[in-house]
Amino acid sequence: MAKAKKLKSGSWRVQVFSHWEYVDGKKVKRQRSFTAPTKAEAEMKAAKFASDKDRFSSCSYTVGEAVDIYIRSKGAVLSPSTVRGYNVIRQRLGFIEDIRVDALSNADLQHWISTLSSQVSAKTVKNSYALVSAAVSVFSDRVFKVTLPTRQPLQYNVPTDEDVQHLMDEARPDLRLAIALAAIGTLRRGEICGLKYKDVLYDFKAVFVHTDMVQALDNSWIHKEIPKTSDSVRRVVLPKEVMDLIGEGDPEEYVVKSTPTAISHAFTRLRNKLGLKCRFHDLRHYAASILHAIGMPDQYIMERGGWSTDGTLKAVYRNTLSDKSKAYSDKANEYFEQKLLRKTE
């Protein structure tokens, strides 16, 4: 066993043979370094690696191959949209794709993360690292320590009452119904597109939300009987005006005859025409903000909207509707003016 050497920093380092690797047709010796505050600790880490080296070296898969195997193994239990997302990440592996699992280092991963951070969002980097880490863990129990980029708080462009009314007034019938189901019923795009007339509960003036429209691996849209989460299964009571927009139809017919992509594109065109900045999904945030503003407890807002946690709700509340915020500010100022700021006669 190699002996530890003291570094100028005061730490101790041991270098141990790891494996042979062919680079440009030449056989290159690869080593692993172990650094610790004391000589004994460094040599102990090296000794543990040496004892496990045969097991580590037995994995000849590259990171790319490990990710492929992981995706195939999970294909039967993951949603098509999740698998599509994994395949997109697979295309972003870059230079770590061809590194063997047993040769992958912290430095390799950190360099890859730093490069990826300049190209995509912090959330995407986190999801990408999670996939690579999970795939590598199938063949190795090594633990990596990397620094992921800090995720910046999302800034929501929550529309006002006037904005939503303007959108509904200017939208074509199919899009108007989709906007109403999102802004009033809190439904997601996929839930709106997956809704069939058999799910409309006319006696209760409600819709039963229990399906989803998701994108398959070939980019086509398919009807999924299982929603995003178990909390997404719910019954949403709607105003009479929205029920009138829904109307009646064949039980197996879709209430909104569009794909999620078509809804987004149509909404974006309308939004741009009206000079607004909100996304279609922000209509759900609008609904949550209104329900919060009228005093509905978070528990019931989460139930109506199919949210599993209150994280999104709290993020939305931090971006309070501007018109509602002004109304409450005026009410507060009026109170203080009457109670504290009256001039003494």
- Per-residue pLDDT of 15-31, as tens digits, reads 887 766 545 556 567 78
Taking only the tens place, the pLDDT of each residue in 173-228 is 999 999 999 999 999 999 999 999 999 999 999 999 999 888 777 778 888 877 66
Q: What residues are paired with 62 via a beta bridge? A: 100
pLDDT of 344 reads 45
Res 150: pLDDT? 87
Q: What is the pLDDT of residue 313?
A: 73
Residue 310 pLDDT grade (very low, low, confident, very high; cuts 50, 70, 90): confident
Q: What is the pLDDT of residues 320-331, one digit of tens each?
A: 555 566 666 677
Nearest to 227 by CA among 217, 235, 239: 235
Q: How far apart are the first and last CA of the chain?
A: 94
The whole-number pLDDT of residue 59 equals: 61
pLDDT tens readout for residues 68-108: 988 988 877 777 778 888 999 999 999 999 998 888 999 99
- Mean pLDDT over residues 32-47, rounded? 87
Q: Identify the CA nearest to 304 among candidates 205, 232, 199.
A: 232
Q: Does the pLDDT at position 41 exceed 50?
A: yes
Q: Closest by alpha carbon to 276, among 154, 155, 158? A: 158
pTM score, whole prediction: 0.64
pLDDT exceeding 90 applies to what percent of the chain? 46
- 247-267 pLDDT tens trace: 999 999 999 999 999 999 999
Identify the pLDDT of residue 16: 83
275 alpha carbon, distance to own chain's centre: 28
Are 167 and 179 a contacting pair, CB within 8 Å? yes
Tokens at residue 72, please? 């195939």
Tell me: the pLDDT tens digits for 116-165? Answer: 999 999 999 999 999 999 999 888 777 889 999 987 766 678 899 999 99
Residue in the block written with tokens 């005859």: 257
Q: Whole-number mean pLDDT of the chain?
A: 84
Structural domains of the chain, with CATH: 5-57 (no CATH), 63-137 (1.10.150), 161-327 (1.10.443.10)
For residue 221, the model assigns a pLDDT of: 86
